[in-house]
Structure 1
């Protein structure tokens, strides 16, 4: 029987996500034993006796056929080390450690994509921040983002120079070493965007996400609505090209409605799919399991 591990940080007392539970059940129906493990359960030993260099809960364990990291932007250095080690032992990783590392850093991701694709203007800042420079280079309102974050966390809209300075002072006092980027606000896409789900070299589905209140965010995980959106040749080409450029196999590509066409907001290496299934009627978990099975075989 094929065996795999979902690698995902677990919070004590919190149930696994919809995606995790459905993947495990779908894999079981396909004859795959899929287990959920927190990377912190795993210890690695750098030794020539490679097949005994991985410990799970302090015990030498048989290696899985594949791993499916599901941490995205929250992937820690330790988790990356575990993924790298298993890759070196011949375990297939659904999205490589190299691709995950590229994508988890939002600034690095933008640096790569800006060479070939339309992206919002982005600045990395240090404190104190000169609001006049921000006004000149990006304008207000402006998006403030932490370098790592997912599901809309760590993303704030600052409406004007005064509120920006107030927030900057608060951040500087509470966390002077905070890693922050500023991003141009695309007003034509306020409260809505597109999420395109890519598996392999194929677009599985596309949905429009929209805010159900006056928020500038449209994240489904934070109460936003979703609806089916037709995959046009432009959307397909853009999503596949971006995914390939970042070296990803599985991706969630977020597109903004720019005045002159679509712009890349960001790319997720571990996209949720509950909203995608709801909007498109597709069984994304089955698509993922079928893809993994074909790659391992």
Structure 2
């Protein structure tokens, strides 16, 4: 079984990619790390399609695993789409990655399907603070529409903080920065649940807890992790969300909301260092096993 992992070159040696390489070596998977900029795509009106790697024709893999998540560029998406159209099994699809990297688009899909989510508003600038205060109570959350590992997420506890962040965003004048304002779910302050879904199955979950005095529970932001025993509501939410967004592999973040739960966001290329530490599960093995099942009969 031949697999490519599509990632930024600077992340080739990340924990996750090292784990994929270790498990590939252990199980006999032929694995190659590739970066988007190494490819050239040719499409002609006659319908001939080709893809070159480092300027040369290349034998295509059985499967492509994109590992760029919210950092997936237009060019990277084009490479993923091209390989899909050449018949390569892609995990996850270009469409699901594009949807998942847009937090507002994901929430719109969930709301349309009656999935519980925090109240959310797309911000426009200059920000009408009075209008925001009519719709939301402090504290509230400000997020960039695209982001991961807890980056681009801010807690505003009062009007002065909201004004300062709004001024900073407006001064940047970056048209690519889109921001959402979100209800702060107080019962989940400093903690959340990360569920890992592979092939329509929740393989496990962990409880993430923020450092003292912080509100971001991400392991990458210094939070602690522990095993969370999956219960039916959490498992259903995670699996349903992955299905609605079209993701075969997903990290689903779920908030505590009183006696229930709300979905925070979805990740198409979730990190799993903390997850493996908390659960003892072998994530690359789970993903490789799923790929073998999907490709059964074609290898």
Displacement of 1:29: 2.1
Kindly indicate whether residue 131 of structure 2 is the aligned counterpart of residue 130 of structure 1: no
The match for 1:152 is 150
Aligned partners of 1:193 and 1:254 also within 8 Å: yes
CA 1:24–1:15: 2 relative to 1, 3 Å: closer
Displacement of 1:10: 2.0
Q: Deviations over 1:262-293 (max 9, x none)?
A: 10000111111111111111111211111112
Which structure 2 residues correspond to residues 175-186 of structure 1 after superposition, within 5 A? 175-177=173-175, 178-186=177-185
Which structure 2 residues correspond to residues 51-70 of structure 1 after superposition, within 5 A? 53-70=50-67
Aligned partners of 2:12 and 2:33 also within 8 Å: no
Aligned partners of 1:3 and 1:33 also within 8 Å: yes
Kindly indicate whether residue 230 of structure 2 is the aligned counterpart of residue 231 of structure 1: yes
The match for 1:80 is 77
**The residue matched to 1:23 in structure 2 has which SS?**
helix
**The residue matched to 1:287 in structure 2 has which SS?**
helix
**The residue matched to 2:9 in structure 1 has which SS?**
coil
Which blocks of at least 5 consecutive residues in structure 2 are unaligned? none
CA RMSD of aligned residues (A): 1.2
The match for 1:141 is 139
Kindly indicate whether residue 54 of structure 2 is the aligned counterpart of residue 30 of structure 1: no
Displacement of 1:135: 1.2
CA 1:104–1:218: 2 relative to 1, 3 Å: same
- Distance across 1 between alignment mates of 2:174 and 2:248: 36
The match for 2:170 is 172
- Distance across 1 between alignment mates of 2:281 and 2:206: 11
- Distance across 1 between alignment mates of 2:40 and 2:295: 24
What is the number of residues matched between the two proteins? Answer: 292
- Distance across 2 between alignment mates of 1:59 and 1:101: 28
Q: After TM superposition, what 4+ stretches of structure 1 lie above 2 angstroms from structure 2?
A: 47-50, 175-178
Q: Deviations over 1:77-118 (max 9, x none)?
A: 111111000000000001111111111111101100112200
The match for 2:161 is 163
Aligned partners of 1:23 and 1:289 also within 8 Å: no
- Distance across 1 between alignment mates of 2:126 and 2:195: 37
Displacement of 1:237: 1.2
Which blocks of at least 5 consecutive residues in structure 1 are unaligned? none
CA 1:200–1:62: 2 relative to 1, 3 Å: same
Which structure 2 residues correspond to residues 268-287 of structure 1 after superposition, within 5 A? 268-287=267-286
Aligned partners of 1:194 and 1:209 also within 8 Å: yes
- Most deviating of 41-50 and 159-168: 41-50
Q: Deviations over 1:227-255 (max 9, x none)?
A: 00110111111111111111111111100
Which structure 2 residues correspond to residues 45-56 of structure 1 after superposition, within 5 A? 45-47=42-44, 48-50=47-49, 53-56=50-53
The match for 1:102 is 99
The match for 2:208 is 209
**The residue matched to 1:196 in structure 2 has which SS?**
strand
Which structure 2 residues correspond to residues 236-251 of structure 1 after superposition, within 5 A? 236-251=235-250
CA 1:260–1:137: 2 relative to 1, 3 Å: farther
- Distance across 2 between alignment mates of 1:176 and 1:259: 38
- Distance across 1 between alignment mates of 2:78 and 2:290: 25
